[in-house]
Chain A
Amino acid sequence: MDYNLDVTHLLAGSTLMVSFVLLYQTRMYGILNAFAMQAVILAMAVAWQSRVQHAPHLMVTAFLALTVKAGVIPWVLRIIIRKLGIQRNIETVVGIGTTLLVAVFLTMLAILIVVPMTSAHAAATRQDLAFALAVILLGILMMITRHNAISQIVGFMSLENGLILAATGAKGMPLVVEISVAFSVLIAFLVFGIFLFRIRERFDSVDITALERFRKERLEGRYSHGESLIQPVIPAMDPVRREPT
């Protein structure tokens, strides 16, 4: 049936489209909303695969995506953002326009690599895989082009979305792996959480450049080696640039 393929396409394509949306967000909450949207679409895509492949266990993965990735994680991150007062604009390394151009290029690359290489497989599998690789590459791009620790986390989780899309698109791949992927997201998130806490403790900022700036100053000899940091390098928050909540 042809419309099976169409729906698979639509959902995988939408996941990729949200990856583009993630790249041009300039506000923290905007990033979280876009990520939650991607997780919802991913859940739908996985649920659809579960129906097409007659693989009921995939519903577990879909459920995890819907509850954890679209619900719990954005909610917790929102709390962190509010507590730290960092709703402000996100500083990017390169301009948004350039980033999007690179993103288009990466998507083309993904399709050009995967589609010809997988000629032995069904069309749905091949195109799903191409979309998934594009989502993975855009996730990496987001991690590279953002300074902010929370945006990097979201970039990483978006990358994991791509992995789940690829894993569920591969027909009959055993459940062990899917659960482990979901698990690893949780573990990764825990670790991220610990790190956020520590970064906050030491620098009063979750901007990664604060870490780098500290390092530079240390090399220039402003802080002696091993001495604990008494003054935060960056002021806690800049009230002028804070968004009204």
Chain B
Amino acid sequence: MILPETALITPAMALQSLLIIPGIAAILLLLIPSFRLGAWLNVLATALTFMMGLYLFFTPHFIAGLLFVDAFNVYLIALNTFVGMTTSIFSATYIAHELERGHLTPKHLRFYHAMYQALLFAMNLALSSNNIGLMWVGLEMATVTTVVMVGIYRTPEAVEAAWKYFILGSVGIALAFFGTILIYLVAQPVVGEGMAAMTWTRLVADSGNMDPKLLSLAFVFLLVGFGTKVGLAPLHAWLPDAHAEGPTPISAVLSGLLLNVALYAILRFKMILAGNPESLSPGPILMFMGLLSLLFAGFMLYQRKDIKRLFAYSSIEHMGIITFAFGMGGALANFAGLLHMTMHSLTKSAIFFAVGHVTQAKGTKDMDAIHGLSESHPALAWGLALGVIAIAGLPPFGIFASEFILVTTTFAREPLLAVILVVGLLVAFGALLLRLQELLFGEPDGTSRPLEASLMPLFVHLALILWAGLHLPENLGIWFARVADLLG
């Protein structure tokens, strides 16, 4: 569908406003002292950004200066701005109660909202830039803003988590920058000096003539660097702590969005390598890291006591599945990977919304102290149950569809790996359902408060993944198939 050209804004303006709106909002939020006003301004800004993202989704692709839109990034932009919006709605109703409990001060909240917009700015920059240097800047900024937010509660645990995340994240980002320099060096003799040698569209077009050895070396640095940010085992050490100790809306954004953006960076570089048959083939490495993450996280799920940590490990597991799918490549596996990326993003942020409600209602993150939610908070229990059933991969939700496609195509091509994949999926499935049953049933114990934050974002996400699982819209299917071809 193509919108008429007479619209008020041009596509290029919409693309730039993906950066301008969060940028201005971040500054305004830093200046506005009232946190209530700040929270709703945050929602307004994310809603506007989402409208721009949606508009871009229906326009033809184009390049505008250092930014560009193509089939691959536009779908992630739309997804990112959407989850950014729903999370800000959740956050607006959730975060005020953190203030009441004395976890945060109004000054912290001001800072929190400004950083939230800065994070969206950074992620939009990483997604929409047509330049490997700018993309790196985006991911670097995203790291810095999330580090600050993870440490915002200032408890010893939060400081420790933030420090660990910061050290590992900056080493990762530094290695990725070295990889970026190597890509420039390998492209420079082919494309010429200056900006051109850092431009995605040029790099992908000319990758066939590049020096394969140096290209492979660059990819190794990029994979280790950005792989740290994706949270792939064995580079995942920061991820569970950062998810567990930060505010819950940030856990939702970290799992749902930032991991995807880092994976997007790796996949872009994989596209460069795909155009150069003599270079190292990234598939087997990605498949290995993917399966390792899946198995490792699957077994780790059994020993978790902290509810947020549990779902953080589940994120490692799912990023493993997605990486495995893209590592295998081919139309079907790539399709499954893209679908899984979307579904995981929507489902996991929904689960973190539910977890946020649970921790506020029960006043603890310790799963041993949370029982009988189905009696004390029935609506929330339904939401959590549906979310966990979805993330465990049961029909009729969207994740079942993507896992089903992935498992069948793996059985057709690599039966041995398919066995490992299925074992990993089942291990994680068992752990999640076991935990869910403990949370929902039994005698309600401990403190129990009524729900204060809005349940709406949770159920909107659940409705979307249910819809995608029952009947994937035809347009979206065609779209995914096109991107899958692009990835090779």
On A, residues with C-beta under 8 Å from B are 113-114, 116-121, 125, 129, 132-133, 136, 139-140, 143, 149, 152, 156, 159-160, 163, 166-167, 170-174, 176-177, 180-181, 184, 187-188, 191-192, 194-195, 198-199, 201-203, 208, 211-212, 214-215, 218, 225-226, 228-229
The reply to whether B133 and A174 contact each other, CB–CB distance below 8 Å, is: yes
Most A CB contacts (10 A, CB to CB) among B147, B151, B177, B195 go to: B177
Residues of B within 8 A of A226 (CB): 155, 364
Please give the distance in Å from B369's CB to the nearest CB on chain A: 9
The reply to whether A188 and B214 contact each other, CB–CB distance below 8 Å, is: no
Most A CB contacts (10 A, CB to CB) among B174, B175, B195, B364 go to: B174
B382 interface residue, CB < 8 Å from A?
A: no
The reply to whether B178 and A198 contact each other, CB–CB distance below 8 Å, is: no
B217 interface residue, CB < 8 Å from A?
A: yes
The reply to whether B366 and A188 contact each other, CB–CB distance below 8 Å, is: no
Residues of A within 8 A of B485 (CB): none
Residues of B within 8 A of A143 (CB): 167, 171
In the bound complex, what is the Cα–Cα distance between A240 and B182 (angstroms)?
49
Closest to A190 in B: B144
In chain B, positions 168-220 with a C-beta closer than 8 Å to chain A are: 170-171, 174-175, 177-178, 180-182, 184-185, 188-189, 193-195, 197-198, 211, 213-214, 217
Residues of A within 8 A of B188 (CB): 170-172
Closest to B132 in A: A177
Tell which of B136, B154, B185 touches A121, judged by Cβ atoms closer than 8 Å: B185
Tell which of B156, B171, B365 touches A140, judged by Cβ atoms closer than 8 Å: B171
| Given known A136-B178, A176-B131, A194-B148, contact A225–B195 (CB-CB < 8 A) | no
Residues of B within 8 A of A160 (CB): 174
B403 interface residue, CB < 8 Å from A?
A: no
18 contacts between A and B (CB under 8 A): A116-B213, A125-B185, A129-B185, A139-B174, A149-B163, A156-B170, A159-B174, A173-B181, A174-B198, A176-B131, A176-B134, A177-B198, A191-B144, A195-B151, A201-B154, A202-B159, A211-B159, A226-B155
Is the contact region of chain A dominated by helix, strand, or loop, or is it mixed? helix
The reply to whether A166 and B181 contact each other, CB–CB distance below 8 Å, is: yes
The reply to whether A167 and B181 contact each other, CB–CB distance below 8 Å, is: yes
In the bound complex, what is the Cα–Cα distance between A40 and B45 (angstroms)?
44
The reply to whether A195 and B181 contact each other, CB–CB distance below 8 Å, is: no
Residues of B within 8 A of A195 (CB): 151, 159, 162-163, 166
* A-B residue pair count with CB separations less than 8 angstroms: 123
Please give the distance in Å from B272's CB to the nearest CB on chain A: 16
The reply to whether B159 and A199 contact each other, CB–CB distance below 8 Å, is: yes
Extra A-B contacts (19), CB below 8 Å, given A170-B185, A174-B133, A215-B156? A117-B214, A118-B214, A119-B211, A120-B211, A120-B214, A121-B189, A129-B181, A129-B185, A159-B174, A160-B174, A163-B181, A172-B193, A177-B180, A180-B136, A195-B151, A198-B151, A218-B156, A225-B366, A229-B156
Is the contact region of chain B dominated by helix, strand, or loop, or is it mixed? helix
The reply to whether B137 and A184 contact each other, CB–CB distance below 8 Å, is: yes
The reply to whether A117 and B213 contact each other, CB–CB distance below 8 Å, is: yes
In the bound complex, what is the Cα–Cα distance between A152 and B168 (angstroms)?
11
The reply to whether B170 and A188 contact each other, CB–CB distance below 8 Å, is: yes
In the bound complex, what is the Cα–Cα distance between A120 and B212 (angstroms)?
11
The reply to whether A173 and B184 contact each other, CB–CB distance below 8 Å, is: yes
Residues of A within 8 A of B155 (CB): 226, 228
Q: How large is the interface on B (under 10, 10 to 19, 20 to 34, 35 or more residues)?
A: 35 or more
B157 interface residue, CB < 8 Å from A?
A: yes
Most A CB contacts (10 A, CB to CB) among B171, B211, B365 go to: B171
Residues of A within 8 A of B194 (CB): 172, 174
Residues of A within 8 A of B184 (CB): 170, 173
Please give the distance in Å from B292's CB to the nearest CB on chain A: 22
B317 interface residue, CB < 8 Å from A?
A: no
The reply to whether B160 and A211 contact each other, CB–CB distance below 8 Å, is: yes
Residues of B within 8 A of A194 (CB): 148, 151
Closest to A227 in B: B155
The reply to whether B193 and A152 contact each other, CB–CB distance below 8 Å, is: no
In the bound complex, what is the Cα–Cα distance between A118 and B26 (angstroms)?
43
Please give the distance in Å from A135's CB to the nearest CB on chain B: 11
Please give the distance in Å from B218's CB to the nearest CB on chain A: 9
Most A CB contacts (10 A, CB to CB) among B184, B217, B366 go to: B184
Residues of B within 8 A of A163 (CB): 174, 177-178, 181
Residues of A within 8 A of B170 (CB): 156, 188
Residues of A within 8 A of B185 (CB): 118, 121, 125, 129, 170
In the bound complex, what is the Cα–Cα distance between A113 and B214 (angstroms)?
10
Closest to A198 in B: B159
Residues of A within 8 A of B364 (CB): 225-226
Please give the distance in Å from A81's CB to the nearest CB on chain B: 18
Residues of A within 8 A of B213 (CB): 116-117
Tell which of B144, B156, B157, B162 touches A188, judged by Cβ atoms closer than 8 Å: B144
Most B CB contacts (10 A, CB to CB) among A116, A171, A184, A218 go to: A184
Q: Nearest 8 pairs between A and B by C-beta?
A: A172-B193, A177-B133, A211-B160, A180-B137, A166-B181, A117-B213, A117-B217, A117-B214
In the bound complex, what is the Cα–Cα distance between A201 and B213 (angstroms)?
50
Please give the distance in Å from A234's CB to the nearest CB on chain B: 12
Closest to A177 in B: B133
In the bound complex, what is the Cα–Cα distance between A226 and B365 (angstroms)?
10
Residues of A within 8 A of B154 (CB): 198, 201-202
In the bound complex, what is the Cα–Cα distance between A172 and B194 (angstroms)?
5
Residues of A within 8 A of B189 (CB): 120-121
| Per-residue contact bits, chain B 22-57, to A (CB 8 Å; 1 contact, 0 not) | 000000000000000000000000000000000000
The reply to whether A166 and B178 contact each other, CB–CB distance below 8 Å, is: yes
In the bound complex, what is the Cα–Cα distance between A180 and B197 (angstroms)?
17
In the bound complex, what is the Cα–Cα distance between A180 and B148 (angstroms)?
19
Closest to A132 in B: B178
Residues of A within 8 A of B131 (CB): 176
| Given known A172-B188, A176-B133, A177-B133, contact A159–B171 (CB-CB < 8 A) | yes
In the bound complex, what is the Cα–Cα distance between A76 and B91 (angstroms)?
36
In chain B, positions 81-120 with a C-beta closer than 8 Å to chain A are: none
